[in-house]
């Protein structure tokens, strides 16, 4: 069965610090998709990135970057120069050959001014 | 505007009183699903639908029903709600199962 683990339940940083959110996944399939979503205090879920299992290229989008490593089954998310607006709960999710989407427990990031 | 609309946003009900949470999307998406969010557990999938009249159980289907009679609508039915179904519920849709999901704004349900 597929599983997603976000070991960090809460992280607190000071503005402008870099922060990495960890995501480790388990699946028996060779084809799968990984996602990151953001849930700000207002409660909605915002899509950030999708990565398929055949594309191990890291991605950068502004202050956000993602490091996908199949060898360690990890898909970590780094925010560079964090800002107060980055405060949110971040979820990592996995979809493999089955039809379900499995989420990790989430990491609450608090960025203090 | 492309969106997933859930109603109601907030609901307080009593144990055993049947309720329905509606979900509608205007993007012609084939894949729709329901999740519940509980502290420390993330989002867990309740049911999903690959297309009209095609539904299947997710991780936590007990106590819930769904139907998909039209492509745009995917209601969640609680025939006899219990307090352990108090949670934050999200409906989502996507063009297919492998693309990113668009989420509704959530329904906070309290069963007393």
- Average pLDDT of the residues of chain A: 94
Give the pLDDT of residue A56. 85
* Nearest chain A alpha carbon to B39: A105
Q: Which residues of B touch A37 (CB under 8 A)?
A: 103
Contact: B43, A103; criterion CB under 8 Å: yes
CB of A101 less than 8 A from some CB of B: yes
Task: Report the distance separating Cα B79 and Cα B63, nearest Å.
Answer: 7
pLDDT band at B72 (very low <50, low <70, confident <90, very high): very high
Q: Is the pLDDT of residue B78 over 80?
A: yes
Q: Which residues of B touch A104 (CB under 8 A)?
A: 42
- Phi and psi at B85, nearest 5°, equal -95, 5
Minimal C-alpha gap between B57 and chain A (Å): 9
Contact: B42, A45; criterion CB under 8 Å: no
Tokens of A77: 């998310």
pLDDT band at A62 (very low <50, low <70, confident <90, very high): very high
Q: Which residues of B touch A101 (CB under 8 A)?
A: 33, 45, 97, 101
Number of Cβ atoms within 10 Å of the Cβ of A83 = 12
Minimal C-alpha gap between A18 and chain B (Å): 24
């Amino acid at each position: 069965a597929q599983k997603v683990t976000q070991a960090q339940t809460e992280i607190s940083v000071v503005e402008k610090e870099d922060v990495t959110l960890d995501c480790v996944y388990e699946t028996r399939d060779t084809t799968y998709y990984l996602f990151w979503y953001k849930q700000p205090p207002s409660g909605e879920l915002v899509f950030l990135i999708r990565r398929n299992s055949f594309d191990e290229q890291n991605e950068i989008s502004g202050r956000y970057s993602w490091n996908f490593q199949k060898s360690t089954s990890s898909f970590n998310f780094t925010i560079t120069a964090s800002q107060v607006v980055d405060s949110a709960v971040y979820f990592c999710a996995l979809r493999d050959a089955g039809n379900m989407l499995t989420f990790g427990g989430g990491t609450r990031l608090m960025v203090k001014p | 505007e492309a969106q997933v609309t859930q109603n109601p946003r907030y609901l307080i009900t009593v144990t055993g009183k049947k309720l329905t949470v509606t979900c509608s999307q205007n993007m012609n998406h084939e894949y729709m699903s329901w999740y519940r969010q509980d502290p420390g557990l993330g989002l867990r999938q309740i049911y999903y639908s690959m297309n009209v009249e095609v539904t299947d159980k997710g991780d936590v289907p007990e106590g819930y029903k769904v139907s998909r009679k039209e492509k745009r609508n995917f209601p969640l039915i609680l025939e006899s709600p219990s307090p352990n179904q108090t949670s934050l519920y999200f409906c989502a849709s996507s063009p297919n199962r492998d693309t990113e999901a668009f989420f509704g704004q959530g329904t906070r349900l309290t069963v007393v």
